[in-house]
Amino acid sequence: MYNSISISLGEMVLKGKNRGQFEKKLTNQINKVIKKKGLSLYRDRGKIFIDTENDIDELIKDIKNIFGIVYVTPCFKTGREFEEISQSVIRLMEWKRENGDIKTFKILSKRADKSYPFKSMDLNRDLGGVVLKHFGDLKVDVHNPDVTINVDLRSQCYLYTEKYKGTGGLPLGTNGEGLVLLSGGIDSPVAAYMMARRGVKLNCVTFHAYPFTSERANDKVRTLTERLAVFCGQINLYYVNMLDIYTEIRKHCPEDQTTIIARRFMMRIGEKIANDREFDFLITGESLGQVASQTAKSLGVIDSSVNLPILRPLIGMDKTEIIEISRNIGTYEDSILPYEDCCSVFSPKHPQTKPRKDRIELSEEKIDIWALIDDAINKMEIEKIQ
pLDDT tens figures, 304-360 = 999 999 999 999 999 999 999 999 999 999 999 887 766 665 677 788 889 999 999
Q: Is 177-385 a CATH 1.25.40.10 domain?
A: no
Q: How far apart are CA 157 and CA 360, in angstroms?
A: 67
Residue 13 binned pLDDT confidence (cut-offs 50, 70, 90): confident
Is 159 known to sit in a ligand binding site? no
Per-residue pLDDT reduced to its tens digit, 167-187 = 999 999 999 999 999 998 999
- The pTM of this model reads 0.90
Region 261-274: mean pLDDT is 97
Angstrom distance (rounded) from CA 331 to CA 325: 9
Mean pLDDT within 22-37? 92
Q: What is the pLDDT of residues 81-105, one digit of tens each?
A: 999 999 999 999 999 999 889 999 9
Residue of higher predicted confidence among 344 and 160: 160
Are the C-beta atoms of residues 285 and 187 closer than 8 Å to each other?
yes
198 a known binding residue?
Answer: no
From the options 2.60.120.10, 3.20.20.140, 3.10.129.10, 3.30.2130.30, give the CATH code of 4-165: 3.30.2130.30
How far is it, in rounded angstroms, from Cα 121 to Cα 140?
A: 14
The whole-chain average pLDDT of the chain stands at 93
Structural domain boundaries in the chain? 4-165, 177-385
Q: How far apart are CA 105 and CA 13, in angstroms?
A: 31
CA distance 344 to 326: 21
Question: Does residue 213 surpass a pLDDT of 90?
Answer: no
Greatest CA separation found in the chain? 88
Is 263 among the annotated ligand-binding positions? Answer: yes
> What is the rounded CA–CA span in Å between residue 79 and residue 122?
18
Q: Is the pLDDT of residue 254 over 90?
A: yes
Phi, psi at 356, each rounded to 5°? -105, 130
Question: Any known ligand binding at 206?
Answer: yes
CA atoms of 11 and 14, how far apart (whole Å): 6
Q: Binding residue per annotation — 207?
A: yes
pLDDT for position 346: 66
**H-only helix segments in the chain:** 19-34, 56-63, 82-98, 120-134, 187-197, 215-232, 243-252, 258-277, 296-303, 319-329, 332-335, 342-345, 357-364, 369-378
273 vs 308: CA distance, rounded Å: 11
Does residue 314 have a known ligand-binding role?
Answer: no
pLDDT at 344: 63
Is residue 181 part of an annotated ligand binding site?
yes
What is the DSSP annotation of 268-290? HHHHHHHHHHT--EEE----TTS
* Strand pairing report for 157-160 and 147-153: antiparallel
- pLDDT-above-70 percentage for the chain: 98
Higher pLDDT, 386 or 383: 383
Residue-level length of the chain: 386
Closest CA to 240 of 200, 267, 280, 260: 267
Please work out, in degrees rounded to the nearest 5, the angle formed at the alpha carbon of residue 24 by the alpha carbons of 19 and 27. Answer: 125
CA within 13 Å, CB half, 177: 13
